[in-house]
């Protein structure tokens, strides 16, 4: 199948309400009682894939030891300016290697003013198939939840 035929086939699935693109994340029962939450659009599936990539530590996934990124290693360093640059670099590198069809438009890193134990990462992205259609993913990390105290 040539590239244009592939793009046309994916767009057809993307616009058909009776077809699904993939399985959503997190895994679990959906409102219809089906075992997996299914995604209807390429952008929706990309968001699930991106969340899965960023919440997986390298070496964690059996059979794919290079899948993931090591955000957990730097999340609660003391210097927020340094963290922002490192987070941006880690995310962009992981996406370019593992999910090259995702276009990262912007990454915002910050904590809550009244809660120094929380770090928020918001990623604005699109997919190569539809570069003008955007979505965002918000990841919230709380030190107490991560370390059990």
For 30-57, the pLDDT digits (tens) are: 677 667 778 888 899 999 999 999 999 9
What local confidence, expressed as pLDDT, does residue 123 receive?
A: 97
Q: Which residues pair with 140 in a beta bridge?
A: 120
Quick one: pLDDT band at residue 98, thresholds 50, 70, 90?
A: very high
Residue 108: which of 88, 122, 118 has the closest Cα?
Answer: 122
Round the average pLDDT of the chain to a whole number and report it. 82
Q: What is the mean pLDDT of residues 118-142?
A: 91
% of the chain with per-residue pLDDT over 70 = 79
Output the CA–CA distances (angstroms, integers) from residue 29 to 40, 122, 126, 138, in the order listed.
16, 26, 27, 22
| Coil, helix or strand at residue 53 | helix
Write out pLDDT tens, residues 60-86.
888 988 999 988 888 766 666 678 889
Contact indicator for 109, 84 with CB cutoff of 8 Å: yes
- Secondary-structure class of domain 3-147 per CATH: alpha beta
Domain locations along the chain: 3-147
């Amino acid at each position: 199948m040539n590239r244009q035929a592939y793009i046309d086939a994916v767009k057809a699935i993307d616009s058909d309400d009776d077809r699904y693109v993939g399985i959503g994340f997190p895994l679990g029962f959906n409102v219809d009682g089906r075992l997996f939450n299914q995604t209807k659009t390429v952008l929706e599936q990309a968001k699930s894939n991106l969340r899965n990539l960023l919440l997986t530590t390298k070496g964690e996934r059996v059979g794919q030891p290079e899948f993931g990124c090591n955000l957990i290693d730097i999340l609660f360093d003391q210097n927020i300016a340094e963290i922002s640059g490192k987070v941006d670099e880690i995310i962009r590198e992981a996406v370019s290697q593992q999910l090259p069809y995702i276009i990262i438009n912007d990454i915002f890193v910050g904590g809550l003013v009244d809660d120094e134990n929380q770090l928020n990462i918001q990623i604005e992205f699109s997919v190569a198939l539809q570069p003008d259609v955007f979505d965002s993913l918000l990841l919230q990390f709380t030190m107490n939840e991560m370390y059990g105290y």
